[in-house]
Amino acid sequence: MSIPRALLSVSDKAGLVDFARRLHDAGVQLIASGGTARQLAAAELPVAAVEDLTGFPEILDGRVKTLHPAVHGGILARRTSEHLDELAAHNLAPIDLVVVNLYPFQQTVARPNVTLAVAVEQIDIGGVALLRAAAKNHESVTVICDPADYDAVAAAVANGGVDDALRMQLALKAFQHTAAYDSAISSYLAAQITGESADDESTLPQQINLSLTQFQLNRYGENPHQQGGLYAYSGEGAAFEQLHGKEMSYNNWLDLDGSWSSAQDFSQPTVSIIKHGNPCGLASATTLEAAYEKALASDPVSAFGSVISVNRPLDAATAKSMSGLFVEIIAAPAYDEEALALLRKKKNLRILLARPVVDHPLSVRSIYGGVLVQEVDRSQADMDPLTWRVASQRQPTPAQLADLAFAWRVARHVKSNAIVYVQDEATIGVGAGQMSRVDSVMVAGHKAGERAQGAVMASDAFFPFADGIEAAAAHGIAAVVQPGGSLRDDEVIAAVDKMGLVMVFTGTRHFRH
């Protein structure tokens, strides 16, 4: 289909002028609304304003500008003689290309302290109507909702027109885009209603509408007989850009999620080394290089073939230290040029750059017959040692308290039953996912070895019996942080005092299944 006339009305103006110029050079007549028209005119491109087409000015502070038969008639008309004659009878003409992206509702409500009134003004009406009209009539009309598609469409127009397959693909993308947009609005409004009426009983929405877009089809899922892929929330970009290395797998993404979230949970330069979903080494220090060396020392055997994330731009010194270990993935918020050059020498190493994404406070997990939804575990109150209760007779030293705070924060990133041994703000042994808490204590003690002497331990949930504490003491643990709340807390406290240990209660547990 050739493109004689195009309507452009975009909120995100990235790439707009170059795209419009390519359309103009191909002989396309440009029509635009509001700020889009002003930007094209400033670039000295011939452009007709929407009000010239409709004969009616924008009204209601711009709330109504494209909702008019001159616009929607031109978009929705079939290219039959009957419809074309009807348009001509009303002095109207077809519109062959619609380029629209919507008001940034998702980005607006993701900002802190946004009021309902501000959020409502970012609900696009005319733009959604334009996209749906053009997508419905994709047999004759090309629709673009994403600047990433400018190049493909401009090239097609320059070569004579847009083919059926591309128009269909773009129409599907437009409907997916508006569906995700409506989903975001409904979820936001549901949360507002729930928050106002729940009396602090629940902040979960009554209804959740999910719209996901496939970003990557993996070779397979967790195992070769399972299909798997990466999906992102529709209308949002991917969270990571891959700079180097072979394709990410399903399991790679899972491990990266654990590694990235755990590293970002700390304020000091921090390195998280993940293997099979659990930290085998996590440490903070004054520099990333020092944090990496401490994290690696935690369990260098398990670190082979691991996933590593950092919470600072990755520098050359740290990259050089990492080069001696076989690693599947490295993720960072930024990379020094020298660091990137060093890492790229490893052909298969996947190097990922994190991108800012919309913060989603809910975790959604599939189960048989439905999904489980919960808030993401980001509690901060119990991470402050000033909120803890010292349950033992012996008081923690400042150094112990610092390590206990570090261990407690690590514990919420370890699969339950979670036990974390820490010394000098670095893990030295991790026991994860055991059916018995005592077994987790023994696994962490085995990993720590002699380093456990005088170290501290965190447990994600309470000790139901004293045996777990006694096993930790046998390994040399001197201080323990745990939620407390067991029916046998008195028994456990008595055992702690008998052994001369320190024990503090946080009052909060951090199961991670």
Catalytic residues: 136, 276
Task: State how far the alpha carbon of 414 is from the alpha carbons of 257, 364, 407, 434, 488, in Å.
Answer: 13, 19, 11, 11, 24
DSSP state for residue 217 in the 8-state scheme: E
Q: Please count the CA atoms within 13 angstroms of the CA of 118 that sit on its side-chain side.
A: 11
Are the beta carbons of 6 and 143 closer than 8 angstroms?
no
Q: Distance between CA atoms of 153 and 157, rounded to whole angstroms? A: 6
Bridge-based pairing of strands 370-375 and 419-422 is unpaired
Q: Which of 240, 429, 420 is nearest to 330 (CA)?
A: 240
Q: Integer distance in angstroms from the first to the last C-alpha of the chain?
A: 54
Element of type H or E holding 20: helix 16-25
Element of type H or E holding 402: helix 398-411
Q: Distance between CA atoms of 228 and 104, rounded to whole angstroms? A: 30
Are the beta carbons of 239 and 261 closer than 8 angstroms?
no
Bridge-based pairing of strands 5-10 and 97-101 is parallel
Alpha-carbon torsion angle 22, 23, 24, 28, nearest 10: 160
Which tokens belong to 133?
């009209």
